[in-house]
Amino acid sequence: MNNTNWNTYYAGLGMYLICIAVAALPILSTGLEPKGTLELIAAAALASLFVAVYRGSLAARTLRDPNGTFAQALLGIGVCEGLYSVISVDPRPEVLFTAFLLWTAVGLMHLSPREVVALFTVHTGIFINATVSALFLGGSAEKHAEALYMITLSVVMTGFMYWRATDYTRVRNEKSRLRQENSRQAEEIEEAKQRIHQLTVQDMDTIALKYPFFKEELGRCKQRADRDGQALSIGLVSIDHFAALSQRHGEMVMKQVTREVVHRVARVVGKASLNDDGSGHQPVGKVGDGLFGIILPHINRQGAAACAEKLHAAVGHQSIRTLAGALDVTLTVGICEYYPGETLDEVLRNVGRELERARMRELEELQAAARPRAQGPAVKAATCAHELRLLHEKEYESPLH
């Protein structure tokens, strides 16, 4: 709630003091007795307390009076006119008019034309009830003229305030429209900044970091590891047979494959809570065609090896849907742990060597799996008891392979 609206509330407290002073002191008319003055003060305190609680409440927002301006003016008129006309033996029209004028004027900048009319309606009802004898029952000519003059002046002032409230309402609506427009433009500017950032920092085919920004992010993680003395691991993830797959399926299909692979890699890294800066910035960068780097803060080599196994499972065990149908791809992952004092180039060379070692191990495993197994001697059949005994001793108790 801003200071301007609170100033309106504090001005309302001043209006209570002025109205009670006008009613109690013999300024425009005979003043109230001390008991009546105390009753007005107590009612004003209760009304002010209610408005202070009411401002900003759900009820106020529901009634479209979030600052409580209309409620404050309505209660002010009720106390300074309604209660005064009940307490006073001879309520004076000028006191009633003064209360209406002050309470409508204090919140005029925040009142709508309809609210001004509502306040005037309440004022008119109280005024006629308090001065009915002077207006209709043949009181003195002076009191009749005074009451008639004050009700006429109330109508004139209501028309003026209605006009001003219309202008203020138009200004408020325009300010609200401009704020909404500024907010919308700010959101568009922020979205444009994000798009520019993505175009500058991210590879649009894979949504991974471009290599210079990946290396820059790796440098920041290296500095944090040196400063905090925490572990840091780096990995290289290669899509196996990427060139052959590209020639076979085409560029569009491989874009789908690489994007999905990066998505799965980033998801595995995120689930392992490896991104420690809380910014949501994925530590996956494009190093080459079908080759991506990952940054693993706070993770040693053993933890990085476990993450590599999860990466194999996330990609190798689940087909990727493409325009060419479901494709099965596998990964080769090289992992190394950063040691304090190494430069970025040394770290990248080390992880490159680890990737080559991983490729060689996988190649050896494939060759071993494809190599034909050696055939053992054929099992002989026994033709007599003597041969059966010999086979039992020599053939059946030795391995066949």
pLDDT of 390: 43
Task: Confirm if 315 and 294 have CB atoms less than 8 A apart.
Answer: no
pLDDT of 396: 38
Distance between CA atoms of 386 and 369, rounded to whole angstroms? 41
For 43, 101, 109, 130, 271, the CA distances from 124, given in Å and listed in that order, are 21, 12, 22, 10, 70
| Number of neighbours of residue 315 by Cβ within 10 angstroms | 24
Q: Residue 332: helix, strand or coil by DSSP?
A: strand
pLDDT of 33: 84
Is the whole model's pTM more than 0.85, yes or no? no
Residue boundaries of the structural domains of the chain: 3-181, 211-366
Cα 88 to the center of its chain, rounded Å: 57
Task: Confirm if 217 and 285 have CB atoms less than 8 A apart.
Answer: yes
pLDDT of 397: 39
Distance between CA atoms of 185 and 383, rounded to whole angstroms? 98
CATH of domain 211-366: 3.30.70.270
Task: Confirm if 197 and 294 have CB atoms less than 8 A apart.
Answer: no
Q: Which amino acid is at 15?
A: M
Tell me the per-residue pLDDT of 325-353, one tens digit each, with 9 for 90 and over: 888 899 999 999 999 889 988 999 999 99
Distance between CA atoms of 35 and 54, rounded to whole angstroms? 29
pLDDT of 398: 40
Task: Confirm if 84 and 78 have CB atoms less than 8 A apart.
Answer: no
pLDDT of 260: 92
pLDDT of 274: 47
pLDDT of 261: 92
Distance between CA atoms of 269 and 308, rounded to whole angstroms? 10
Distance between CA atoms of 118 and 74, rounded to whole angstroms? 9
- For 173-213, the DSSP string reads HHHHHHHHHHHHHHHHHHHHHHHHHHHHHB-TTT-SBPHHH
Task: Confirm if 258 and 205 have CB atoms less than 8 A apart.
Answer: yes
List CB contacts of 133: < 8 A, sequence separation 6 or more. 139
Distance between CA atoms of 155 and 151, rounded to whole angstroms? 6
* Residues in the chain where the model's pLDDT stays below 50: 1-2, 274-275, 278-279, 379, 381-382, 385-401
